[in-house]
Structure 1
Amino acid sequence: MVNTCLRLILLIVLIGGCSLKKLNQPHKNYKSETLTIQQVSDHVCQHISYLQTESFGNVPCNGMIVFDKNEAIIFDTAPDTTISAELITWVEKELNCKIKAIIPTHFHSDCLGGLEAFHRRQIHSYANNTTIQLATSNHSAVPANGFDKMLELKVGSRKVIAEFIGEGHTKDNIIGYFPDENIMFGGCLIKEVGAGKGNLADATVQDWPSTVTALKQKYAATKLVIPGHGKTGGTELFDYTIQLFQQK
């Protein structure tokens, strides 16, 4: 009886030790002069790079990396090919992942300015068909594969969703969603709390609040939201964006 109890105690300690070891494993983070990567959950990292602009100065630009079982999908490139190559190298070496896809969330350079770096590595690119049309007209690098409303792709044993809900920051803006952890990359459709309206050159301002309202309703389970620029948060980012563009 005593031996049985001792074995049971030892088993509990071993299991607890393994669980603790797993919980205490350091997150994958990275920082250079041009690129920052922060792991925000078990299967998601946020990448941050910088775009020099005339109107808004040096703007930090976010993107999302979803990874599982040595595969990764990235939403948005860095603004240029050099930083995008740095991002690709980090994902391949530090996450030990093959990049299955790059998905720019709209046609501006903060989303696809580094697309050529992915194409040079033979990485598949996907975008809203409207993004492909606008990138072509803008003489930018052009994503190779298009979709109209929604795209689902497998990453490891999980999936990611890219979806066009409606116009807002641009006519083509989409979001990325990782259902397993209820994490959304809102891109430039979603503002960080306290942000101004930003670049409205290609915006459909009158549709912006209704688009985000529909997004909030459809993805009500969302727990973490990564905006195109600035700090992550919860669904309060949806509410703030709606209020910011609501007609007074």
Structure 2
Amino acid sequence: MIMGNKRVVILFFWLLLGCKTTHWVNLPHESGNLVITRATGHTFIHTSYLNTEKYGKVPCNGMIVMDHNEAIIFDTPTDRVASAELIDWIQNQNGFKIKAVIATHFHEDCLGGLDTFHTHHIPSYALNRTIDLAKKEAIALPQNGFESRLELKVGRKKVIGAFWGPGHTEDNIIGYFPSEKVMFGGCLIKTQGAGKGNLNDANVSEWSNTVLKLKDEYQQTEIVIPGHGKTGGIELFDYTMALFKE
């Protein structure tokens, strides 16, 4: 009987150790600059705001993946103030360390707060093409480039950044967290009911083909986070393809 109780205690200890990564994260968080919501056990959505002439105040999404006191962020918030707020929030979660920030394309809603991450000595990553395009815009540059695919460890898990073709821009990548089948589609993926949005740098003729490649490669995806608007499932692939199909 004593041995049985001992096994129960040991099992409880390991369950507690495995659960501590995100169950103790302080949620929700909401201010005038930043909203953070949970998507799954280890993934979160950060939403900040971009003031535009054409569309007004636009909510912009990014993804946070957290595991064993480490975090990786896809896209910075839109400005330095919201970025500092996000960094503070993560670092106050039981000592979480931000290992990296990954930009999914060269627009302001992905890179607007990059200087703040660099000030905090947080490494940044982006497609080589993104870095080249950012140079032309005279905005902060990601520090580390990759050609088409990036894989980084966060805690005991991995995250993937991958380029599958043009769409919203020539450099748009997606983020994927295999452990929980979550994709951050960024501005390549549209939320249900959305219009075509900003097409200034778009490749409309290839957009549907790129998303079709995503759908074929990531058939197991369960949650899709778009760059703007509400999270959905793989139906967002079909909606986006239909929107841009010629």
Normalised by the length of structure 1, the TM-score is: 0.90
Q: CA deviation at 1:227?
A: 0.1
For residues 34 and 83 of structure 1, the distance between their equivalents in structure 2, rounded to whole angstroms, comes to: 5
Amino acid at match of 1:122: H
For residues 101 and 95 of structure 1, the distance between their equivalents in structure 2, rounded to whole angstroms, comes to: 18
Q: Deviations over 1:64-117 (max 9, x none)?
A: 000111110000001111110111000110253110000010000000010000
For residues 57 and 69 of structure 2, the distance between their equivalents in structure 1, rounded to whole angstroms, comes to: 33
Corresponding position of 1:87: 86
SS of the residue 1:62 aligns to: strand
Corresponding position of 1:245: 244
Amino acid at match of 2:175: G
Corresponding position of 2:146: 147
Corresponding position of 1:33: 32
The 5 Å alignment of 1:1-248 reads 28-94=27-93, 96-247=95-246
SS of the residue 1:212 aligns to: helix
For residues 86 and 144 of structure 1, the distance between their equivalents in structure 2, rounded to whole angstroms, comes to: 22
For residues 233 and 89 of structure 1, the distance between their equivalents in structure 2, rounded to whole angstroms, comes to: 28
For residues 78 and 117 of structure 2, the distance between their equivalents in structure 1, rounded to whole angstroms, comes to: 12
For residues 137 and 61 of structure 1, the distance between their equivalents in structure 2, rounded to whole angstroms, comes to: 23
SS of the residue 1:85 aligns to: helix
For residues 95 and 138 of structure 1, the distance between their equivalents in structure 2, rounded to whole angstroms, comes to: 37
Structure 1 or 2, whichever has the larger Rg, is 1
Q: CA deviation at 1:29?
A: 2.1
SS of the residue 2:180 aligns to: coil
Q: Aligned pair count?
A: 234
Query: Could you tell me whether the CA contact under 8 Å between 2:186 and 2:228 is conserved in 1?
Result: yes
Query: Could you tell me whether the CA contact under 8 Å between 2:115 and 2:140 is conserved in 1?
Result: yes
Unpaired stretches in structure 2, ≥5 consecutive residues: none
Q: CA deviation at 1:26?
A: 6.9
Q: Deviations over 1:172-198 (max 9, x none)?
A: 000000000000000000000000000
For residues 71 and 236 of structure 2, the distance between their equivalents in structure 1, rounded to whole angstroms, comes to: 26
Higher deviation after alignment, 185-194 or 79-88: 79-88
Change (3 A) 1:43 1:231: same
Amino acid at match of 2:169: T
SS of the residue 2:188 aligns to: coil
For residues 47 and 126 of structure 1, the distance between their equivalents in structure 2, rounded to whole angstroms, comes to: 18
For residues 51 and 33 of structure 2, the distance between their equivalents in structure 1, rounded to whole angstroms, comes to: 12
Q: CA RMSD in A?
A: 1.9
Q: Deviations over 1:201-227 (max 9, x none)?
A: 000000000000000100111000000
Higher deviation after alignment, 75-84 or 191-200: 75-84
Higher deviation after alignment, 38-47 or 185-194: 38-47
